[in-house]
Structure 1
Amino acid sequence: MSGSRIPLDYETAKKLAASQDTGDRRLVASRADTQPEILFFLANDASAEVRREIARNDSTPRQADLLLCGDPDEEVRSGLARKIARLLPSLTADRVGQLERMTLDIVEALARDQAIAVRRVVAETLKDTDAAPPHLVQQLARDLELSVSGPVLRHSPLLTDDDLLSIIGSQPMDGKLVAIAERAGLSGSVSEAVARTQNEAAVAALLGNQSAQIREETLDRIIDMAPRFEPWHSPLVRRPSLPPQAAARIAGFVSEQLLKVLETRTDLPADVRGAIRSAVQQRANAGNPARGGAEPLGIADPAEEEEPKERPMDRARKAHAAGKLDEEMITEALTKGDRGFVLGALSLRAGAPLEAVDKIIGGQSARGVTALCWKAKLSMRLCRQVQLRIANIPPSSVLNARDGSHYPMSDSEMVWQLEFFGLKG
């Protein structure tokens, strides 16, 4: 930081650094021309305000920065993270001296900080650079906190297709899938993997990402499922370079308003636009927009549209309302790999928002999942299967029943776990 333009001699700086006035010490701590040994001395100051200035000061010796990594004040560590992460892009491969090694050690420690705000600063600073250590980017991309992982998943040029496919395969929370789907220039293979999740928000984001490469067979698969996912309809209608056959199929199930948008597309062949125009008129006359599985407007389609299937959450709601959402039904869904239904069942039985359930399951925390199953009043036997089959927790990390059938944590521990995820016990 620049501080005053008037030079500060060593004796004056030393005197101010020992002053009882916090303002004097902050002034010295903020100046770029303060001697390194005085800055190091002030890194141990009793005032967090002084240490925050030291953390932000580019002239602070790296040894003092290393000391501030473990500072009890979160703002000190956040300021340090912002400064240190900014320095990484300037480190070249041939500069691996002690100073550079110390800089890397500091940013790696801050990327593991217990405070979300600190990790978020590191992620936001490094999200666009291609000079960060790849293992550090991998760590941030897999952070359980979306505000940390999201920026890296959305922007980092260091994440390869294999990295992204691995993360998608780990069944992350919705927000992570959305961040991946919004990446510029997303490849066809990653787009295919996003589509296969059938995640409503992520596929909508993928369709809205005009730079994403979506293969024709992937688009066909999305259109097969689209009648039961209304949020996909608008981005489908506006998707650039929409194949005529796809446009004809889409016209069979979107709303009258979107049908009119489709009709105005000048990139479609005249016969397709004519068929869409006829459909608009037919709906206007009938006053009853078609829903799902309509004929493709007189243009040959190799297969009929299937009737829209009920969404997993809707099926779970019906079963719950009928008093049939019991362990037997959930076990059957587990056996079939019906992940969406199991998540819906946990949400309804636990009285928890689906987003919170998805976050707990996606976090792969054996304790968090166990607490959720406890709140949903499931047996510990079934809870173990949820850990293994839905949360994908390794067998060695799964929590097992105590004394044959009892939950392994106390009620108070269970409540604490739920509160950690923002739920009431």
Structure 2
Amino acid sequence: MAGFLKRLFGGNKEPIDYDRAKDLAAHPDSKIRTDLARRDDIRPEILYFLAEDADPAVRRSVAANDAAPPQANLLLAADCDDSVRGDLAAKIARLAPGLSAHDQDRLRRLTFEALEIVARDQVTRIRQILSEALKDVANAPPDVIRRLAHDAELVVAGPILRFSPVLTDEDLLEIIGAEPIPGALAAISRRAGINTQVCDAIAATDDTEAIAVLLGNPLAQIREETLDRLVHRAADIEAWHRPFVERPKLPARVAQRLARFVAADLLRSLAERDDLGPEAASLVALAVEKRIAEAALSPEAKASTRLAADRSEAEARARALMDCGQLTETTIDTALASGDLAFVTAALILLAHLPAKSVVKAIDTQSAKGIIAISWKAGLSPGLALQLQTRLLRLPAARVIPPSGGDFPLTTREMEWQLEFFGAAE
């Protein structure tokens, strides 16, 4: 038997005519049928016949055979044997993207249908095989890629999210906004050349791991404003410190902020960077000097010094934005959402043209009416005045004064009185 098989299927195999192939396809020895199923020179209908063979080894050979007709692939996509579907997944993932528009429509339709069935397979390993095979294929079927990107298992979705050139920015933004599975955002954050819109969407989430990966991706196009918002959240998130410090082209104010809280080894790396530019290097050096001076202070003095520095920096940022006409309600709302309350306070002082002590007094006494009056004087909306009560003053719901019919809940005279009161309270 071994000699027969060697002559029939060995190295320099001889062509088999149709009738002989039909006889071998019905041979009682499954080894002969398996070897026949591996051949690429037999008629498609023979391979289709073998795709229904009772022996999984025969069906696996057909599944892995590039010459198998699309009808056989479609049949095997629903095979009861995992290994058959796994071999098929690897094959059609390799072949399907090569089908051009000039191929017969029916051929393409059947092959893509088989691909979609495999992409819905209940066995994770089968979908994983497909994902790994298609992750970097530029002309893979978009519907299949999107299905894999939304998979509930990271081993399936991860390779597609990280590498697939088929996914558009719109696809990525949809995934980011749809409560993705753990690890999905980190996979997206590792993509080469992520644009600013996608970076902004990831930075706006609470996924600290994904943001750490994003910061560590030198090809991620993170806007200076986004880095600025992130650095104000970074003090208590140690996982962000190193990727922040090692990030290329750090803006001056971001570098200065980092110098105030990163560990000594990172502080040294930050100070030794040669790409900061004169302004950033000077600010970092100043921050290093302050850190050295603070080390000798008592805990109470350190806290007071740090608070004063926070206020000073916030005032500088707010004034810079005001000078270029960018200190807007949107800017204040964003700062509120990120917890940058020192900046919000500084912005209210500048926009309302009030003494700093007047605004701080209203905030410290948690005066709902006072903050409403300040918002009105600053030219802000009743809606933002409501947000200031809940987020800046941290008032419980029972003490909040909501807008009245979309307008401020106090009369003009009442708000003027509040401003006079807090002005007199200096």
For the aligned pair, the TM-score class normalised by the smaller chain equals 0.5 to 0.7
Does structure 1 residue 172 correspond to structure 2 residue 180? yes
SS of 2:317's equivalent in the other structure is coil
* Cα pair 1:174 1:202 within 8 Å, conserved: no
Aligned to 2:97: 89
Using the TM superposition, name which of 113-122 and 286-295 deviates more.
Answer: 286-295
* Cα pair 1:3 1:30 within 8 Å, conserved: no
SS of 1:242's equivalent in the other structure is coil
> Which of 12, 15, 18 lines up with 1:5 in the alignment?
12
* Cα pair 1:182 1:205 within 8 Å, conserved: yes
TM alignment of 1:26-45, pairs within 5 A? 26-45=34-53
Does structure 1 residue 302 correspond to structure 2 residue 317? yes
Distance 1:113 1:263 in 2: 53
Letter matched to residue 187 of structure 2? A
Q: Structure 2: which 5+ residue stretches go unaligned?
A: 1-8, 319-334, 340-389, 391-426
Distance 1:245 1:195 in 2: 18
Letter matched to residue 14 of structure 2? P
Letter matched to residue 163 of structure 1? D
Q: CA deviation at 1:133?
A: 2.7
Distance 2:227 2:263 in 1: 19
Q: Say what the alpha-carbon RMSD is for the aligned residues.
A: 3.2
> Which of 207, 214, 219 lines up with 2:227 in the alignment?
219
* Cα pair 2:252 2:279 within 8 Å, conserved: no
> Which of 155, 169, 182 lines up with 2:163 in the alignment?
155
The percent identity for this pair of structures is 45
Distance 1:215 1:279 in 2: 23
Q: Structure 1: which 5+ residue stretches go unaligned?
A: 310-335, 337-425
Q: CA deviation at 1:125?
A: 2.0
Distance 1:293 1:284 in 2: 13
Does structure 1 residue 53 correspond to structure 2 residue 84? no
Aligned to 2:140: 132
Letter matched to residue 5 of structure 1? N
Distance 1:140 1:3 in 2: 40
Letter matched to residue 148 of structure 1? V
Q: CA deviation at 1:287?
A: 8.8
* Cα pair 1:62 1:102 within 8 Å, conserved: yes
TM alignment of 1:18-417, pairs within 5 A? 18-270=26-278, 272-273=280-281, 276-277=284-285, 286=295, 295=309, 301-302=316-317
SS of 1:174's equivalent in the other structure is coil
Using the TM superposition, name which of 26-35 and 163-172 deviates more.
Answer: 26-35
Distance 2:186 2:222 in 1: 15
* Cα pair 1:124 1:151 within 8 Å, conserved: yes
Q: CA deviation at 1:184?
A: 1.3
Distance 1:169 1:3 in 2: 56
SS of 1:302's equivalent in the other structure is helix
Closer, same or farther in 2 for the Cα pair 1:22/1:280, shift >3 Å? farther
Counting matched residue pairs gives: 307
* Cα pair 2:259 2:288 within 8 Å, conserved: no
* Cα pair 1:253 1:293 within 8 Å, conserved: no
Q: CA deviation at 1:21?
A: 2.9
Q: CA deviation at 1:278?
A: 6.3
* Bigger Rg, structure 1 or 2: 2
Distance 1:115 1:217 in 2: 44
Deviation digits for residues 178-222 of structure 1 (CA, Å, limit 9, x no counterpart): 111111111111101100002111101111111111111111111
Closer, same or farther in 2 for the Cα pair 1:254/1:293, shift >3 Å? farther
Distance 1:3 1:106 in 2: 31
Q: CA deviation at 1:66?
A: 1.4
Letter matched to residue 302 of structure 1? R
